[in-house]
Amino acid sequence: MSSARNAILSRLRDAKPEAKAMETIIYQPWVSEDEKVITERFIAGLSASHAEVISTSHKALSKLIEEVAVGKQLEHIALGTSGEFHEHIIQATKSLKTVFFDNDIKDWKSSLFNNVDAGITHCRAGIADTGTLVLWPDVSEPRTLSLVPPCHIALIKRSTIVSNFAELMEMQAWQNNMPTNIVLVSGPSKTADIQQTLAYGAHGPSQLVVILIEDM
C-alpha cells in the first residue's frame, strides 16, 4: 500500500504543469447608471422571491417599524447593539418585548429558537441585478439575527444599492478589508421536496420584510 502511494505521489511531483488557455468570459453582469431603474430592478427581484419591500424616509422609519410589528403581530424581537438606525429601532420597539444580542448564544438559545418572533438587521448594501441584500455580520449584529427568527426585518439605505456584485466589491474595496462572513439574502428561506412542493421557513425565516430608506 505504501509503495503504491509513493508511486502516485512521485508521478504527481514529476508531472509538468501546463498553462491553461485563456477562457472567454461570456457572462456580462447587469449594469445601469439610472437610480430609478436600479431601484425598480432591486425591488422587483426581491418581490419575485416573496419578500415584502416597503419604502420610507428617515423621519418615518420608527413609525413604520412599529406598524410592521403590529401588523404581523410580532411581540418578541431580537435586536443588535448598534448600527446607523439603532435608535430608530429602539424607539419603534419600546412597547414590545425585546432582547439584545449581547450575550453568548448558549445562554439564551432556547428563547431565541422558541420565543423570538423577529430579528432586525441593517444591510451593508443591495444588489439590483439579483434583488439581493448584503449583510455583513459582526459582534453587534451576528448572522443569527437574520437566520433564526421566523421574520427577518432588514433595513437598507437606497444609496447603498448597486448594479451588481462585482461593482459592490470594487466600490467598497473589499480586497482591503475582507469580512469573515457575508450573508446574501434574496427572499425568505425556502426549500422543495422531491415532489417539487415549495415550502417557506423550513431552514430559516418564513417572512422577509425589507424597509428601503430614502436618503435625506
CATH of the structural domain 36-189+208-213, one choice from 3.40.50.10420, 3.40.50.720, 2.40.160.40, 1.10.150.120? 3.40.50.10420
Task: Name the residue among 131, 129, 128, 141 with its Cα closest to residue 179.
Answer: 141
Residue type at 11 in one-letter notation:
R
Task: Find out whether 134 and 184 touch, Cβ atoms under 8 Å.
Answer: yes
Q: What is the mean pLDDT of residues 119-140?
A: 96
Task: Name the residue among 120, 146, 126, 122 with its Cα closest to residue 40.
Answer: 126
Per-position DSSP letters for 102-151, written without gaps between them: -S-GGGTHHHHHHT--EEEEE-SEEETTTTEEEE---SSS-THHHHSSSE
Residue 216 has pLDDT above 70, yes or no: no
Domain residues of the chain, as ranges? 36-189+208-213
Residue 142 has pLDDT above 90, yes or no: yes
Q: What is the mean pLDDT of residues 71-87?
A: 96
What is the Cα–Cα distance from 99 to 95, expressed in whole angstroms?
12
% of the chain with per-residue pLDDT over 90: 70
Q: What are phi and psi of 204, to 5 degrees?
A: 165, -160
What pLDDT, on the 0 to 100 scale, is given for residue 24? Answer: 73
Model confidence pLDDT, tens digit, residues 98-112: 999 988 888 889 999
**pTM of this structure:** 0.85
Q: What is the mean pLDDT of residues 141-153?
A: 95
| Band of residue 132 on the pLDDT scale cut at 50, 70, 90 | very high
Q: What is the mean pLDDT of residues 144-161?
A: 96
CA atoms within 13 A on the CB side of 11: 5
% of the chain with per-residue pLDDT over 70: 98
Q: 3-class SS at 7?
A: helix
